[in-house]
A = this chain, B = another copy of it.
């Protein structure tokens, strides 16, 4: 019987992403409702927030577009089907502190905040058009949760025509098993799961950018 790695290798998965010259940085749902453990929907994501803050600073320095997302509901008709299944998210009401971005993230007036009502940063938002108008070719995706909105955004990003990098230190989840399982799926089919150092070097430009990815892990069977 074949291992998952053998099966996926035969299917032709896990090739390295093409890294382009016009990246953008997407930070998914690092709002208080997710990163502050005081909220029922939150968890302590300090390490991932701080690692992401470092990437955001680099992006700001290099003029790379930075887009933050936050889930925020303004009307009882927004996100209805999803809220039937995941009613806890209904706490993310527009105007409440829960939907504010984590204050540990550096901000710049040129940044964009995308308000969303679904899992994906692209669904029902202007994100795809914004990236097209920037000429973006590659998206670095950070944020929370790995098994929810990050995964959904990464799938939409590659479907939308972008190469996708996911720095593993910059994504976080409420629970370890879904985090690991979704990193595995993303690396196999949708994105390169890379180190923070690699993503940092890529965004900073310089010689690393045009080199082949150095730590896109071979597709190995994770403990899913």
In-complex Cβ contact of A82 among B111, B116, B120, B190 (8 A): B190
Name the residue on B nearest A88 (C-beta).
B12
Which of the residues B135, B151, B178, B189 comes within 8 Å of A224, measured between beta carbons?
A: B178
The binding surface of chain A is classed by DSSP as mixed
A91 vs B113: C-alpha distance when bound (angstroms): 19
Do B119 and A155 have beta carbons less than 8 Å apart? yes
- Is A103's beta carbon under 8 Å from chain B? no
* CB <8 Å contact, B161 and A132: yes
A: contact size bracket: 35 or more
Roughly how many angstroms separate A167 CA and B151 CA in the complex, as a whole number? 22
Q: Are A11 and B88 in touch, CB under 8 angstroms?
A: yes
Instruction: State the copy count for this chain.
Output: 4
Is the CB–CB distance between B65 and A158 below 8 Å? no
Besides A15-B86, A80-B133, 6 more A-B contacts (Cβ < 8 Å) are A67-B77, A85-B158, A123-B126, A132-B132, A148-B185, A181-B184
Question: A residues touching B (Cβ–Cβ < 8 Å)?
Answer: 4, 7-8, 10-15, 17-18, 20, 22, 40-41, 43, 65, 67, 74-82, 84-91, 110-113, 115-120, 123-137, 147-148, 151-152, 155-156, 158-164, 174-178, 180-182, 184-185, 188-192, 221, 224
